[in-house]
Amino acid sequence: MYSRLSIVMFPILLIFLIGAGVWGYLEHQEKNAILIKAENQYQRAFHDLSFHVDKLHTELGNTLALNTASQDSYKKGLVNVWRITSEAQSEINQLPLALLPFNKTEEFLANMANFSYRAAVRDLGKQPLNDGEIQTMNALYQHSDEISTALREMQTKVLANNLRWMDVETALATQKEPLDNAIIDGFQTVDKQVADYKDVKWSPSVMSTFQKNDVNMLPGSEATVDEVKQKAAQFLNISDPSTIQAVENGAGTEYQSISVTIPKENSVEGIQMDYTRKGAQLLWYSASRDVTEKKLDIRQARDAAAEFLDMHGYPDMTSVSYDEYNNIANVTFASRQNDTINYIDKLAVKIALDDGEAIGLQATDYVFGHKERQIPPPKLNSAEARKVLNSDLQVDHEAMALILNDLQEEVLCYQFIGRINGGIYRIYINAETGVEEKVDYLRKEEAALSEI
């Protein structure tokens, strides 16, 4: 009996063992193929980074060698610096450096890209580079050579010692100290070197692009937790503030805020709100819930959002954008001042499309951007601004708008919404210079807002 059983089971077990071995081998091969592909991508990104930083040094030298009066050539050189710097930033993002302090170098490259872009897009005939900007470019030329030299030395070690980037990723993931790896040591050295570059004087306009919202810039006094609870109770029409929980965040930093939580039926997370510590202004509000069906159209959602804003002290707002997902509408509003749409004062309201309930508010841009502004009269009239438009554009709507341009400057524009090549676009023409500042492609839902 046992011999018969063994005769039957032996081939089955043998087939099973062979199958397990083949499966294990194929899994091992697949894993190796993935590791090899990742290693090749890391190696490519690193060597491309070294090439582009070296190219960046060359392009800066070529640009500095030009006569600043050669506006077209100088502009071309600055555009090339911006392009190459952007490529270097992209390659850094492809390397496994998320856990490695390399922020000083990334910040340096971001500032360099912003500096070259801002210089390239302005009219160099009316506003040529000043002595300080030329001095900055000379400093960038010198330091790009130092960074390039350091990267080439790392490149030599990588090639000579056949170093693997997967080992870098493993070392960073395990976070074992000290991180004994030639590549890690090299990047740490570069970042420390960049941190010591004190001679690069970025202009305020360059730094303004990376300026973060600071609560210290807001009006009003420091609010207490109890005062914020009272404001939250008033916002939600709650008679008993004792049901509200509030905690302080970021004490002693520029991000001081007070977070509020209130229980809500049919919700695990409840209602959540964030107020600024200074001035007790509402940054965002969330009362998220599942919305299983859609009953409201765009007009009804817009009207529900507008009513919510009026009720909570956001007057003179006009809808400028609409998005919809999972039966929830996200309606963006901008303030209106003297018939001018102010896109700097923006906020967004989430509306549940089953019953029109406002289940979210994002007001950070409004809090930090809202202030009294003296909007100057336009130098160009509407007819002069229309002459700048593409002659094939069929204009449906026109308005005045205050926007931030690519240089983060507040500019008054004529806003034209029109159709061309089967698409709907919102085009902003500078009301002072006639320059096309910005073009936005509008989805049909967004375009519909201007028609209702």
Chain-centre distance of CA 189, in angstroms? 28
Residue 307 confidence class, pLDDT cut points 50, 70, 90: very high
**Based on the domain organization, do 203 and 221 belong to the same domain?**
no
Residue 370 confidence class, pLDDT cut points 50, 70, 90: confident
Residue 429 confidence class, pLDDT cut points 50, 70, 90: very high
Q: Tokens standing for 251?
A: 């004490």
**Based on the domain organization, do 241 and 150 belong to the same domain?**
no
The letter for the amino acid at 40 is: N
Query: Taking a C-beta distance cutoff of 8 angstroms, is the pair 429, 388 a contact?
Result: yes
Q: What is the C-alpha separation between 35 and 218, in angstroms, rounded?
A: 51
Say which residue, 31 or 403, is predicted with more confidence.
403
DSSP 20: H
pLDDT digits (tens, 9 = 90+) for 372-423: 888 889 999 999 999 999 989 999 999 999 998 877 788 999 999 999 988 8
Q: Tokens standing for 275?
A: 């107020």
Place of tokens 């499966």: 23
Is the residue at 265 inside a domain? yes
Encode 18-55: b = buried (16+ Cβ within 10 Å), e = exposed. eeeeeeeeeeeeeeeeeeeeeeeebbebbeebbbbbbb
Q: What is the C-alpha separation between 100 and 194, in angstroms, rounded?
A: 15
Query: Taking a C-beta distance cutoff of 8 angstroms, is the pair 387, 327 a contact?
Result: no
Q: What is the C-alpha separation between 27 and 41, in angstroms, rounded?
A: 21
**Based on the domain organization, do 44 and 101 belong to the same domain?**
yes
Q: What is the pLDDT of residue 403?
A: 92
Question: 3-state DSSP call for residue 33?
Answer: helix
Taking the CB of residue 446, how many other CB atoms lie within 10 A of it? 20
Q: What is the C-alpha separation between 20 and 155, in angstroms, rounded?
A: 42
Q: Tokens standing for 243?
A: 């049901």
Q: Work out whether strand 423-430 and strand 245-249 pair parallel, antiparallel, or are unpaired.
A: unpaired
pLDDT digits (tens, 9 = 90+) for 269-285: 678 889 988 888 889 99
**Based on the domain organization, do 228 and 363 belong to the same domain?**
yes
pLDDT digits (tens, 9 = 90+) for 35-79: 677 778 888 888 888 888 899 888 888 888 887 777 788 888 888
Beta-strand runs (E) in 326-447:
328-337, 340-352, 358-362, 394-404, 410-420, 423-430, 436-442
| Number of structural domains in the chain | 3
From residue 406, alpha-carbon distances to 94, 167, 209, 365, 402 in Å are: 26, 41, 9, 17, 13
The last residue of a domain, from among 190, 208, 226: 208
Q: What is the mean pLDDT of the chain?
A: 81
Encode 160-194: b = buried (16+ Cβ within 10 Å), e = exposed. eeebbbeebbebbeeeeeebebebbebbeebbeeb
pLDDT digits (tens, 9 = 90+) for 133-186: 888 888 888 888 888 888 888 888 877 777 777 776 666 666 555 445 677 777
**Based on the domain organization, do 263 and 138 belong to the same domain?**
no
The last residue of a domain, from among 208, 243, 274: 208
Domain that holds residue 288: 217-369
Kindly state the greatest CA–CA separation across the chain: 105
pLDDT digits (tens, 9 = 90+) for 223-238: 888 888 888 888 988 8
pLDDT digits (tens, 9 = 90+) for 92-141: 888 777 656 677 888 888 888 888 888 887 777 777 888 888 888 888 88
Rounded to the nearest 5 degrees, what angle is found at the Cα of 225, between the Cα atoms of 221 and 230? 90
**Based on the domain organization, do 128 and 241 belong to the same domain?**
no
**Based on the domain organization, do 173 and 194 belong to the same domain?**
yes
